[in-house]
């Protein structure tokens, strides 16, 4: 039996960050993971460049049953703190768009920084460790294929269910249940949406086409790229809205953001009525898309032949396209898992379970999910940091 001050399960972003902070405070830390390498999701994130944080971190950009929970950790360890850390490690970075910060080089630089900080902080990293039973008797005992570990503090950082083929498991949720913590229902987030029937035929015909769009669900709207796929719709605007969408809900898509299309078409009609509607619409949309929208609106012929009502219908099909996804691509491709350990059962400052002293949950396993764009890593750093000060 190996004795430590802190056992951390899961060597992802949150687990490694917590390990560093606890190690720096002089705690003897062991970090266990069943994977062969730490930070596998960091490695593949942001197209291999890791979108490690966002300049515009704000609590309203996170989804949770308890939206104020994340505030404390996000305020105590901010995006500016992490940016300083990255800069001090000599990692070059840039803002891509909408405050999203990426490495100039590779996501591996972030992993290397974390590994080197862990080493300096004296953290024991055990990889390839299958975790077995976790019990509590004078501290916590963790059985694993790498031996038995015991410590008065246990931090669960095993992430969500997204991308099982990369080692994601529901382990953290089962552990929360075992210790009597509540769970908010989990579902895939930041995920492409799928369609059936005529709508699927339309997206298939346009597969590969990417356009700027505003996608709305109730009062939430995102203006970012939209991508037509063989299964339905993807691209940042769709991934963002997918976290808000529930089965059965409708979303609205504006494929020509930034202008009143009906008025523009009327003006075109007055000036060049002999132009075909499809050609007129192609001034505002890619040609293939214009053809599809015209077909959907059921209009044809020249602009001059169109009634005001027909032009309105055309504009509505382009700017308020109401669609009902049948589902999502699921955990296979979802970037995150919504829901998780109920934050009402955790202390916002230490991430410690209120009913089980010494047991902490951090990162994606907790019911806090950020927008696309570096928000989820910032939650991993901030919650990992908070627990790291407390264990």
- Please report, as residue ranges, which positions from 50 to 89 form the binding site for ligand FDA (by CB under 6 A): 50-51
Among 376, 381, 386, 388, binds ligand FDA (CB under 6 A): 376
44 binds ligand FDA (CB under 6 A): yes
Query: What mask of x and - would describe binding to ligand FDA in positions 100 to 119, judged by CB under 6 A?
Result: --------------------
Contact 76, 46 (CB under 8 A): no
Q: For the chain, how far is it from start to end, CA to CA, in angstroms? A: 20
From the number of C-beta atoms within 10 Å of its C-beta (0-12, 13-18, 19+), residue 219 rates as exposed
Shortest distance in whole angstroms from residue 1 CB to ligand FDA: 19
d(CA 203, CA 218): 23
Decide: helix, strand or coil at residue 94. Answer: strand
Shortest distance in whole angstroms from residue 16 CB to ligand FDA: 8
Q: Which stretch binds ligand FDA (CB under 6 A): 109-117, 162-170, 204-212, 224-232?
A: 162-170
Among 4, 149, 171, 228, binds ligand FDA (CB under 6 A): 171
Among 315, 364, 386, 387, binds ligand FDA (CB under 6 A): 364
169 binds ligand FDA (CB under 6 A): yes
Residues of 54-74 as b/e, b for ≥16 C-beta within 10 angstroms? beebeeebbbbbeeebbebbb
Among 21, 33, 109, 224, binds ligand FDA (CB under 6 A): 33
Among 64, 79, 150, 162, binds ligand FDA (CB under 6 A): 162
Contact 74, 57 (CB under 8 A): yes
- Please report, as residue ranges, which positions from 309 to 348 form the binding site for ligand FDA (by CB under 6 A): 335-336
Pairing of strands 153-156, 183-189: unpaired
Nearest to 56 by CA among 369, 374, 336: 374
What is the chain's Cα-based Rg?
Answer: 24
Among 7, 23, 41, 161, binds ligand FDA (CB under 6 A): 41
Instruction: List, in order, residues 6 or more apart from 118 with CB less than 8 Å away.
Output: 16, 19, 20, 23, 31, 125
380 binds ligand FDA (CB under 6 A): yes
Q: Which residues bind ligand FDA (CB under 6 A)?
A: 9-15, 33-35, 40-41, 44-46, 50-51, 131, 157-159, 162-163, 167-169, 171, 335-336, 363-364, 374-377, 380
């Amino acid at each position: 039996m190996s004795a430590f001050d802190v056992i951390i399960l899961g060597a992802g972003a949150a687990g490694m960050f917590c390990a560093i902070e606890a190690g720096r405070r002089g705690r003897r830390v062991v970090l266990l993971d069943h994977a062969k390498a730490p930070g596998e999701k960091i490695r593949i994130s942001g197209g291999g460049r890791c979108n490690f944080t966002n300049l515009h971190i704000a609590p309203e950009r996170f989804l949770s049953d308890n939206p104020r929970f994340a505030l404390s950790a996000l305020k105590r360890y901010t995006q500016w703190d992490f940016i300083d850390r990255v800069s001090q490690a000599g990692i070059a970075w840039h803002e891509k768009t909408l405050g999203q910060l990426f490495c100039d080089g590779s996501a591996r630089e972030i992993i290397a920084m974390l590994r080197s900080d862990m080493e300096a902080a004296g953290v024991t990293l055990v990889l390839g460790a299958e975790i077995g039973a976790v019990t509590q008797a004078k501290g916590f005992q963790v059985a694993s294929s790498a031996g038995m570990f015991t410590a008065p503090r246990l931090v669960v950082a095993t992430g969500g269910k997204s991308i099982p083929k990369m080692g994601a498991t529901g382990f953290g949720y089962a552990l929360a249940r075992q210790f009597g913590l509540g769970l908010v229902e989990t579902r895939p987030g930041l995920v492409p949406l799928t369609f059936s029937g005529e709508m699927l035929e339309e997206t298939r015909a346009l597969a590969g086409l990417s356009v700027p769009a505003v996608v709305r669900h109730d009062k939430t709207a995102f203006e970012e790229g939209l991508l037509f796929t063989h299964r339905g719709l993807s691209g940042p605007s769709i991934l963002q809205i997918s976290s808000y969408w529930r089965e059965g809900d409708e979303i609205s898509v504006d494929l020509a953001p930034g202008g009143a299309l009906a008025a523009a078409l009327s003006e075109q009609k007055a000036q060049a009525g002999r132009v075909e509607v499809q050609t007129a619409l192609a001034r505002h949309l890619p040609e293939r898309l214009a053809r599809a929208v015209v077909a959907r609106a059921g209009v044809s012929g020249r602009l001059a032949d169109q009634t005001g009502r027909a032009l309105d219908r055309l504009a509505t099909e382009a700017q308020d396209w109401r669609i009902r996804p049948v589902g999502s691509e699921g955990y296979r491709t979802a970037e995150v898992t919504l829901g998780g350990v109920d934050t009402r059962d955790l202390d916002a400052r230490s991430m410690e379970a209120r009913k089980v002293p010494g047991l902490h949950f951090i990162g994606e396993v907790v019911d806090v999910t950020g927008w696309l764009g570096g928000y989820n890593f910032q939650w991993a750093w901030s919650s990992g940091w908070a627990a790291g000060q407390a264990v």
